């Protein structure tokens, strides 16, 4: 049986070989022979007319590339987003772990512990005071007539503000362990706004005195009390300034702090980093806390406390001068090394200073060996000097240092 060949025929088609060529029927298998003498133009023609398997392989690579580009275009943003999220999460985790290790090894942990130790040291000595009175005008008190105080002796003497217990008919004292006792007002000192009350109780833990004169501006301080009746509240800050006067009490001397103090804190202690009492919190600037609080320094508070406990009242020294602050022109004129001191502006003829060698214009630099840093500090130094004492006063007069002696009078005798 004969079969008809239905395959298409291209009579003019040739099989070209790289390097040489020869004519061949389309269905013949050509024999390749390398011949460097083959015409180059016919090589080019062969390439174009019969691309061969390499070109079709190129189309495959191009197709795969296009698919890859398509996938990247479609999946790229999601993959990038996931990569960025993973990278950010890794950074957060690394920072979290690093911070944990860092804080465990660094003294911040010790600083936190120190804060806690200050609280443990002072809180057992701090009391809440509740007063029943017929008249209670002071704006620093809360509506329920409540304040704070600090136990300063094991036999029950408590220091607080005078305005806390003024006009009191009854005084109730609550300790940190929630024991409550009736309090007795031992004495008040309106000049310093301090008072001492006493309770009859056992196992009391008194606070220790600190030295407010040694306290430097910028030092850490803690305030403890019962603001708005919230017992045993402790806040912290720094000592903002020393020897501060007030508009109403220009002759007084206060510690200024940014530790939070509010109504009800009155009478509570201001303590240093050892938990020692360096001041008694007394008033704030404004009607609510604005970051400016004032405390009677321990240099005054201890003097008043000891006087009331031992004498039942406070006796102060008196000189009868009116000092002011040293300014730059004074420093130049008097050839002073700094701005410390107090300039005498007035000497009443009836005062003790009139009988001394002090003169108007003198710059008092030291009182009884103690440096006078601010003019209002001089009031405190004179007031805490025992009446009748003979005191050495170092001054500058007409640019020259000079030593004079004065005898201190009794403030009560001058009706002050």
Q: Catalytic amino acids?
A: 163, 193, 266
Asked if residues 383 and 411 have their Cβ atoms less than 8 Å apart, the reply is yes
Angle at 296 (CA atoms; ends 292, 300), nearest 5 degrees: 155
What tokens does 260 get?
Answer: 């939070």
**Cα–Cα distance between 61 and 172 in angstroms, integer?**
95
Q: Which helix (H) or strand (E) holds 406?
A: strand 400-407
Residues facing residue 370 across a β-bridge: 367
Closest CA to 348 of 358, 334, 337: 358
Grouping H, G, I as helix, E, B as strand and the rest as coil, residue 384 is coil
Closest CA to 267 of 181, 152, 120: 152
- DSSP assignment of 283-314, as one string? EESSSS--S-EEEEEHHHHHHHHHHHHHHSS-
Measured torsion, CA atoms of residues 212, 213, 216, 218, in degrees rounded to the nearest 10: 40
Closest CA to 166 of 134, 210, 211, 202: 134
Q: At what angle do helices 108-122 and 53-105 cross, to 10 degrees?
A: 30
- Dihedral over Cα of 324, 328, 330, 331: its sign: positive
356: how many CB neighbours lie within 10 A of its CB?
19
Asked if residues 278 and 271 have their Cβ atoms less than 8 Å apart, the reply is yes
**Cα–Cα distance between 392 and 370 in angstroms, integer?**
10
| Strand 390-397 to 400-407 pairing | antiparallel
**Cα–Cα distance between 157 and 385 in angstroms, integer?**
24
Angle at 247 (CA atoms; ends 243, 249), nearest 5 degrees: 65
């Amino acid at each position: 049986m004969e079969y008809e060949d239905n395959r298409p025929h291209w009579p003019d088609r040739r099989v070209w070989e790289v390097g040489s060529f020869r004519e061949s029927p389309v269905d013949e298998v050509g024999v390749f022979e390398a011949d460097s003498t083959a015409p180059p133009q016919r090589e080019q023609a062969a390439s174009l007319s019969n691309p061969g398997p390499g070109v079709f392989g190129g189309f495959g690579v191009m197709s795969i590339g296009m698919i890859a580009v398509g996938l990247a275009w479609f999946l790229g943003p999601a993959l990038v987003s996931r990569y960025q999220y993973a990278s950010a999460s890794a950074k957060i985790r690394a920072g979290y772990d690093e911070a944990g290790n860092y804080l465990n090894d660094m003294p911040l942990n010790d600083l936190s512990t120190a804060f806690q130790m200050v609280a443990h040291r002072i809180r057992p000595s701090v009391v809440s005071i509740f007063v029943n009175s017929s008249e209670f005008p002071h704006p620093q008190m809360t509506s329920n007539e409540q304040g704070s105080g600090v136990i300063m002796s094991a036999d029950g003497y408590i220091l607080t503000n005078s305005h806390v217990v003024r006009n009191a008919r009854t005084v109730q004292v609550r300790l940190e362990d929630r024991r409550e006792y009736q309090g007795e007002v031992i004495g008040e000192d309106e000049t310093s706004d301090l008072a001492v009350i006493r309770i009859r109780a056992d196992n009391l833990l008194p606070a220790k005195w600190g030295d407010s004169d040694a306290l430097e501006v910028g030092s850490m301080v803690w305030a403890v009390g019962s603001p708005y009746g919230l017992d045993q509240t402790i806040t912290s800050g720094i000592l903002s300034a020393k020897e501060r006067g007030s508009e109403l009490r220009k002759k007084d001397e206060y510690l200024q702090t940014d530790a939070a103090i509010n109504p009800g804190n009155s009478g509570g202690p201001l303590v240093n980093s050892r938990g020692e009492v360096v001041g008694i919190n007394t008033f704030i600037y404004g009607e609510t806390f604005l970051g400016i609080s004032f405390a009677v320094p321990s240099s005054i508070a201890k003097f008043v406390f000891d006087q009331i406990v031992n004498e039942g009242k406070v006796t102060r020294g008196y000189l009868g001068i009116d000092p002011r602050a040293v300014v730059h022109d004074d420093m130049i004129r008097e050839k002073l090394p700094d701005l410390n001191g107090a300039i005498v502006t007035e000497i009443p003829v009836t005062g003790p200073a009139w009988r001394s060698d002090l003169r108007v214009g003198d710059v008092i630099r030291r009182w009884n060996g103690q440096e006078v840093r601010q003019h209002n500090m001089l009031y405190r130094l004179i007031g805490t000097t025992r009446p009748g004492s003979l005191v050495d006063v170092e001054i500058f007069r007409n640019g020259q240092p000079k030593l004079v002696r004065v005898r201190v009078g009794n403030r009560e005798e001058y009706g002050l």
